[in-house]
Amino acid sequence: MDALDALVLGIVQGLTEFLPVSSSGHLELFKALLGDESLPAESMLFTVVVHSATALSTIIVYYKDIFSILKGLLQFEWNESTTFSLKIIISMIPAALIGFFFSEEMELLFSGNITLVGFMLIVTALLLWLADKSKQTNEPVKYQHAFIIGVSQAISILPGISRSGATISTSVLLRNDKSKAARFSFLMVVPLILGKIAKDLLSGEISTEDQQFFSLIIAFTAALITGIFACRLMIKFVKNSQLKYFAIYCFIIGCISIAIAQYFSL
């Protein structure tokens, strides 16, 4: 992988981790339209690097919240930070169960099924549109909400369902405060990303041979900077009820995907 490929992939990872357009869905579209070999291959090490960058992006944006949570946990105090931590743990359960019991079945979904991607993008568009029209409230995320939002995160494994779009929309539709919904959505994924990184590192399957470390540094930096930008931008979009623009985009791309799939029998 050369420096330009690393830069582009880093930027794409940083943006799509936070913006509700489904990175997995777009990747499947590019693979089908351009061919698997036309895209630079992502090694496991590269995946770990860019995911580390987007996790760090979230930590940087929400460093005050994370520091408060860690402080509460270390002091063994039952306060707002510890209750928030418990809600995060509850939200992780559905995705963790699916990842543990159905990982092989999930991989079968990523086989160039463009019709599925198209319909899932339309579902994402509908969720974003409904969330955008919801009225602002001051309600916090409750325990039962955390589990339901976690189910949305688990469903977003499907290519075409945006993780951030599904979790934020679900939270807003549950009448949660929009800013708190975005905060919860972005923080709830950090433990999962870090867990996935740890699993990959401990698997023994990561190879450092023939790796262009300069390209990895470029990819990490690009994903980190664009991740910080996209995270803050998404917070503003949610707060200002501007998710409809992403809804329109996902609906159009979804319809085009279905049409192309039918025409070319993809």
Per-residue pLDDT tens digits of the chain, which is 266 residues long: 678 888 988 898 888 889 999 877 877 777 676 565 544 545 678 878 888 999 999 999 999 988 888 887 777 777 788 898 999 999 999 988 887 787 777 777 767 789 999 999 999 999 999 999 988 888 989 999 999 999 999 999 898 999 999 999 999 999 999 999 999 999 998 888 888 888 878 877 666 665 678 888 999 999 999 999 999 999 999 988 889 999 999 999 999 999 988 887 76
Question: What is the gyration radius of the CA atoms in the chain, in angstroms?
Answer: 18
Q: What's the number of domains the chain is made of?
A: 1
Containing domain of residue 214, as a range? Answer: 3-264
Three-state secondary structure call for residue 110:
coil
* Tokens linked to 162: 């945006």
At 247 the pLDDT is 96
CA distance 122 to 117: 9
Please tell me the pTM assigned to this model: 0.86
| 222: region left, alpha or beta (phi > 0 left; psi from -120 to 50 alpha) | alpha
At 74 the pLDDT is 77
Question: What burial class does residue 132 get, using C-beta atoms within 10 Å of its C-beta: 0-12 exposed, 13-18 middle, 19+ buried?
Answer: buried
Backbone angles phi, psi at 57, to 5 degrees: -60, -45
Mention every residue, 6+ apart, whose C-beta is less than 8 A from residue 47: 200
At 38 the pLDDT is 47
Task: Identify which of 214, 206, 138 has the alpha carbon closest to the alpha carbon of residue 178.
Answer: 138
Question: What burial class does residue 130 get, using C-beta atoms within 10 Å of its C-beta: 0-12 exposed, 13-18 middle, 19+ buried?
Answer: middle
